[in-house]
Amino acid sequence: MVDRVLFVCHANLCRSPMAEYIARRLLAGRAVTVASAGTDAVDDLPMHPYAADLAAETGGDPTDFRSRRLRREHLVGATLVLAATRRQRSVCTALAPASLHRTFTLRQFGRLAAAADPTTDPADGPLRAAVEAAARARGRLQPATGDADDLRDPIGGTVADFRRCAEEIERSMRPLAALIATAG
């Protein structure tokens, strides 16, 4: 069984594609697929040039990347949904209410995964075990301040702004990769 991580941002041109490529590198060798979509995306646009340059640095080839608008079936088929902002997380759960317990902001999930106790029984697979462990950690952490869960959109910024965003994505993804590694 292959598990799926879905990254969601606004236009599927910057944050979620960068997250997709970073996750591919961090989760290489695991039975996990990654994809991305945008709550307000226009289908079939290329990745933003700065994001494409950073994605290429991960070893991937972003040449064939094309944006896609978020659809209910994307959410239903995902084991874990990681949104760039609280607003986008809300759009996801409104579109597919059953995804509520496996939908987080990327930064929120990074904090939860870092605080989670590693699972010793990944019967349903390492990603599902990681999601459950992070969800259990939710009750032990103080709520974050309003914008602490939101990943700032670098659109309109410099290449340095895109790099800072990519670094934040990677920082938020590392705890998930570590939880998956401990689960199997």
**Single-letter amino acid, residue 168:** E
Residue by residue, DSSP assigns the chain as --EEEEEEESSSSSHHHHHHHHHHHHTTTSSEEEEEEETTPPTTPPPPHHHHHHHHHTT--GGG----B--HHHHHT-SEEEESSHHHHHHHHHH-GGGGGGEEEHHHHHHHHHHSPPPS--TT-HHHHHHHHHHHHGGGSPPPPGGGGPPPP-TTS-HHHHHHHHHHHHHHHHHHHHHHHHH-
Residues 6+ apart with CB under 8 A from 18: 51, 54, 55, 162, 165, 166, 169
Within 13 Å of residue 144, how many CA atoms lie on the same side as its CB? 15
Catalytic residues: 9, 15, 121
